[in-house]
Amino acid sequence: MQIRDLTERSLCAMFDHTNLKAFATTADIEKLCREAREYGFAAVAVNDAQTALCSRLLAGSGVKVGTCIAFPLGQNTIENKVLSAVQAIEGGAGEVDYVANLTYVRDGDWDMAEREMTEVAAACRERGAVSKVIFENCYLTKEEIRHLAEISLRARPDFIKTSTGFGTGGATVEDVALMKAVVGDAVKIKAAGGIRDWETCRAMIEAGADRIGTSAAIDILEGFRQDH
């Protein structure tokens, strides 16, 4: 999307309003959902244990429940990831973010990396849910990022995503631009990790991000308002 075309409403519709803290309370999650309803965010991004609660709280709102699985390490079997995705969808998730198994990537086992991406994406697609595969770019070389993005053109998750926010680094403009250069408009891009102000958010969108994962969506929106 062109920055000049953004409105408050369309910006809010790009946000995954996020609380993935291990110590989040029920009250924290209720607040997250209340804010997502109020502002019209695309989704909330929560850990699997909060899926059912968020599904109840957001029923009829148009805000999707985004469940994060194999999070944040990605070190689960393919079968476990598929099962977790299916269970999350059955529990009310409309979107599933999962972390790629980086052992496959670092070992150069691209067949297994592609099998994982294909099977999780297919499980989500068959059940009408959106899939997002997290690369965790801070641990990868540029060539590994490029290769994973190329795999996504065949496996066809709905989104490829930069980061969990729990690694050694978050989203960078350079990585978003690299991912966009590979997938074009065929696969969408979610930037997440360290995006806490409008200036950073704007740079990610200009580089090609279609969705922004952040726990600071309201602060970013306020920055947008001040800039306009």
The model's pLDDT over 181-212, given as tens digits with 9 standing for 90+, comes to: 999 999 999 999 999 999 999 999 999 999 99
User: Where does residue 171 fall: left (phi above 0), alpha (psi -120 to 50 degrees), or beta otherwise?
Assistant: beta
How many Å apart are CA 211 and CA 20, to the nearest integer?
17
Domain locations along the chain? 3-227
- Rg of the Cα trace of the chain? 16
| 3-227: CATH number | 3.20.20.70
pLDDT, mean over the chain: 97
Over residues 37-57, the mean pLDDT reads 98
- pLDDT of 38: 98
Can you state the percent helix, strand and coil of the chain, rounding each to 5?
A: 50, 15, 30
Catalytic sites, residue numbers? 97, 161, 190
The model's pLDDT over 114-140, given as tens digits with 9 standing for 90+, comes to: 999 999 999 999 999 999 999 999 999
The model's confidence at residue 170, banded by pLDDT at 50, 70 and 90, is very high
The model's pLDDT over 27-45, given as tens digits with 9 standing for 90+, comes to: 999 999 999 999 999 999 9
User: Could you give the angle at the alpha carbon of 25 between the alpha carbons of 19 and 29, nearest 5°?
Assistant: 45
- pLDDT of 1: 62
- CA atoms within 13 A of residue 15's CA, in its CB half-sphere: 32
Query: Token pair of 65, please?
Result: 């429940």
At residue 2, does pLDDT exceed 80?
no
- pLDDT of 228: 84
Coil vs helix vs strand at 136: coil
- pLDDT of 67: 98
The model's confidence at residue 85, banded by pLDDT at 50, 70 and 90, is very high
How many Å apart are CA 10 and CA 7, to the nearest integer?
5
DSSP character string of 57-120 = HTTTSSPEEEEEESTTT--S-HHHHHHHHHHHHHTT-SEEEEE--HHHHHHT-HHHHHHHHHHH
% pLDDT > 90, the chain: 97
Whether the Cβ atoms of residue 149 and residue 179 lie closer than 8 Å to each other? yes
